[in-house]
Structure 1
Amino acid sequence: MKTELMHTRLETLLERAFESKKHKIQVLGSSSELPLSFFLSQTYSKQINNLPHLVITSSHASAELLSELIRFFDPLKVCHLFNHFDVSPYSGLYPNARTVGDRLQFLYRAQSAKPGEIFITSIQALCQKTIPFKELKDRTFVWRPGSEIPDGIAGFLNDLGYQSAPMVEDQGQYAFRGGIIDIFSPAQSRPIRLELFGDQIESLRFFSPADQRSKEETSFIAIIPAKEILFRDENHEQLLKSFRASLEGRPVDRTESEEVLRSLVLKNYFPGAEFLLPYFYKNLETAFDHFSSALNVWLLDPIEVSRFSDEHLAEMKNEYIGADKSVIRPEIEKLFVNFDKMQMPDDSRQIYFSNLEYFDDETSNEVKIEYRSSQVTEFTNLSLSFTPGSDSWISAVKQKLTRWKEDGYKVFVGIKNQTQMDRLAHFIDR
């Protein structure tokens, strides 16, 4: 669905709030994904879009829903989603490779975020520390037709965490075929085929991982690390020392610990190594640190965001205590950070969408505006109370829609096809 350009009431209210130069704004009366998604998809205000947008939700499911709704209202809008690892570092399991790649893509996009660009993260993902900004920035390479590939390209890619494969199908893989190199960088949503003339790139094309057929050309390829953990000579001794220290005084399996240590000594990646991230760098950072400018930070239901943050950290602490025998057991404070202790980029605006008062007392740096939206359940519950299509259902629907229109609401109804739309229009016109 693509609506015609609309100047929403919320846009007017926020423009006035932004003019006040206050950095904390509470939007009281709504904590649903729907109003925020409609607003972000429709606002073209230069005053509001002069900074990148970062939306913080209470869960990844909420983040995904928000992204889907934004694209419902405007399919051309691009949203960058940040996810946390799908398993606990103390579970004995290891994170999905796609999640690892998606996190790196988000951080790469964040480092070059443009005004008006939309980034969405769950609080769990935001609380999980990341590769430092400089380490990712220094290991980002952009190649174009005419660029020369580095000598020892296989070793170059291996050092960035890529894996050689007979055929490239997943993120973080590369393959050689004569004068062709296939690479699936996490920076891109699709793999790219490099056609070479000697050591020089002659052309760049996307290709399908399913049938391996070349697609349209692209003007560049961004090569970024395929993993957040990178073996570096300057930190190798400290990495080994930190890992050994994490084993001291614990009843871990000696064979397993020696196997992990051997892999670290030989600089071999292995499943679960991602959780040793704190030992690979002197200091980790958060997603906030990867943005190079101030942000519009939108907190969707901040009370729930804070609650989920506290519950997530409490759960991690309990699992940490119960994982005394696990070889991989990073300290809580080295891998996670409490939301309240995070530093947002300087001069960022914070906009809180909440049904309840979030600020105890309004200060000189805070402003409150009211923007109330009706819950979708008010409409969907009609189908539970009355048989859809019956006279009583039609009467209730017309009454609800009429009242919303009289109150100045804009009403959108999602319809699967033209037939259903015609039927609904017929019912309403009766």
Structure 2
Amino acid sequence: MNPLQDLARSLGERPRPVTLFGAPEGYDAAAIGDIVAEGHVLPWLHVCRDDGRMDRFAAALAFIHPELDALTFPAWDCLPYDRISPNSEIVSRRIDTLTRLATGGGDTPLVVLTTVNALVQRVPPRSLFEGRVLILRPGGHIGLDRLQSFFSNNGYIRTATVREPGEFAVRGGIVDLYPAGAAQPLRLDFFGDTLESVRTFDPLSQRSSGTAPEAVLRPVSEVLLDDAAIRLFRSRYREQLGATGPDDPLYESVSAGRRYVGMEHWLPLYYERLETLFDYLPDAGISFDHQADEVRDHRLEAVADFYAARHNVTAAARAGSPIYRPVRPVQLYLDNLEWQARLRGRPVVRLS
């Protein structure tokens, strides 16, 4: 038995934190893959320093251990308390991973790759995705009204031409859409309520590029504006952040059921409670890149600074910009005490 096999067995029998020395970039993916492949601790969560590092780790892991099922969970690409929303392609990848984890997977050993910034931020609860995955196959039947209702309830945006994740278009019996996690958009060809074919197409040329056996549709936003979410948002917004006025376009838009740019930064107000990636992987072993702890400390300092800048701004300093009432950092991010509590009792490997 080699040392990594012995370590995998030992962590499965006695979960605890350990440090793995002598694992430079490239070899670290092989080492973590070897531990996971032993099957003593499943699933496994590896936390990278940043998105670039996550992409390199994923490529190395796929090359060395192609038998492992790897999912990626990137962080939002915007600043804390920003006025813009995260990129739709990134949200698509996040939702794809969350729905797969929430609905369960197959028997293949699973590795989830994420970053410090993504793990430290809270996410929508698993219950949000119950009953929200729709699978369509040629020969199946579904009314266009029901399909458009699914789009409306799961964050899709209707456009004339589908080019980005989360968009859909309807032209007679042809429905174009770009589902969460899909490599290419899909073109559904209906005859009445019968789905005749599922094809992929190029979002630039709009030409069909191939066929697909099925279409798996998932939500495309972390904020789903149904009636319950709108009521909860209105109540909590007034309770936590004070009275609203005509200079608060966020409150007015959400109250009317309209999406608003940057609305994701008030994520805690739409749901009874948020969860974390730890909740989606309650029994997972965890490994951390070298210097991941330092990255987390810097991230929490940045969150505190951005919150203070938003919270303490004066009306004069706003100079006509829309009012911004930020939620407290602990509502959207894990503090140090909760972070340590989430790691307690798990196999934890820190790379050095």
TM-score, normalised by the number of residues in structure 1: 0.70
**Coordinate RMSD, CA, aligned:** 2.9
More displaced 10-residue stretch of structure 1: 146-155 or 129-138 = 146-155
Matches of 1:307 and 1:86, distance apart in 2: 20
Which digits, 9 at most, give the CA deviation of each residue in 1:29-61, with x for residues without a partner? Answer: 13533222123556784534x622210123333
| 1:220 to 1:288, Cα distance in 2 relative to 1, 3 A | farther
Q: Secondary structure at the match of 1:102?
A: helix
1:228 to 222, 227, 232: 222
How far has the Cα of 1:269 moved from its partner?
A: 0.5
Partner in structure 2 of residue 341 of structure 1: 338
Which digits, 9 at most, give the CA deviation of each residue in 1:387-421, with x for residues without a partner? Answer: xxxxxxxxxxxxxxxxxxxxxxxxxxxxxxxxxxx
1:133 matched to 2:126: yes
How far has the Cα of 1:295 moved from its partner?
A: 2.0
Alignment of 1:373-388 (within 5 A): none
Partner in structure 2 of residue 91 of structure 1: 82
1:282 to 272, 284, 287: 272
Q: Secondary structure at the match of 1:193?
A: strand
Alignment of 1:68-217 (within 5 A): 68-73=59-64, 79-111=70-102, 112-114=104-106, 115-150=108-143, 151-217=145-211
Gaps of 5+ in 2: 314-322
Matches of 1:286 and 1:168, distance apart in 2: 32
Which digits, 9 at most, give the CA deviation of each residue in 1:329-368, with x for residues without a partner? Answer: 122111111365256599x85241333xxxxxxxxxxxxx
| 1:146 to 1:290, Cα distance in 2 relative to 1, 3 A | farther
Q: Secondary structure at the match of 2:47?
A: strand
More displaced 10-residue stretch of structure 1: 265-274 or 321-330 = 321-330
User: Number of paired residues?
Assistant: 338
Matches of 1:152 and 1:285, distance apart in 2: 30
Q: Secondary structure at the match of 1:98?
A: helix
Matches of 2:43 and 2:8, distance apart in 1: 16
1:295 matched to 2:249: no
1:17 matched to 2:5: no
Gaps of 5+ in 1: 1-7, 356-430
Q: Give yes or no for contact 1:51–1:296 (8 Å, CA) kept in 2.
A: yes
Matches of 1:44 and 1:186, distance apart in 2: 27
Which digits, 9 at most, give the CA deviation of each residue in 1:187-237, with x for residues without a partner? Answer: 322212212121122222222212222233322222111111011223422
Matches of 2:18 and 2:35, distance apart in 1: 18
Partner in structure 1 of residue 303 of structure 2: 316
More displaced 10-residue stretch of structure 1: 226-235 or 278-287 = 226-235
Which digits, 9 at most, give the CA deviation of each residue in 1:257-306, with x for residues without a partner? Answer: 1x222211210002101112111101011122224x632322233xx323
Matches of 1:321 and 1:136, distance apart in 2: 33
Matches of 1:110 and 1:345, distance apart in 2: 19
1:65 to 41, 49, 56: 56
Matches of 1:104 and 1:233, distance apart in 2: 21
Q: Give yes or no for contact 2:8–2:38 (8 Å, CA) kept in 1.
A: no
Matches of 2:43 and 2:9, distance apart in 1: 19
Matches of 1:80 and 1:161, distance apart in 2: 22
| 1:45 to 1:58, Cα distance in 2 relative to 1, 3 A | closer
Matches of 1:289 and 1:15, distance apart in 2: 23
The one-letter code sitting in structure 1 at the alignment partner of 2:31 is F
Matches of 1:230 and 1:35, distance apart in 2: 41
Which digits, 9 at most, give the CA deviation of each residue in 1:69-108, with x for residues without a partner? Answer: 2245467866322122222232333322222222112212
Q: Give yes or no for contact 2:16–2:347 (8 Å, CA) kept in 1.
A: yes
Q: Secondary structure at the match of 1:33?
A: coil
Q: Secondary structure at the match of 1:294?
A: coil
Matches of 2:82 and 2:342, distance apart in 1: 31
Q: Give yes or no for contact 1:309–1:338 (8 Å, CA) kept in 2.
A: no
The one-letter code sitting in structure 1 at the alignment partner of 2:235 is K
Q: Secondary structure at the match of 2:130?
A: helix
| 1:187 to 1:327, Cα distance in 2 relative to 1, 3 A | same
Partner in structure 2 of residue 26 of structure 1: 18
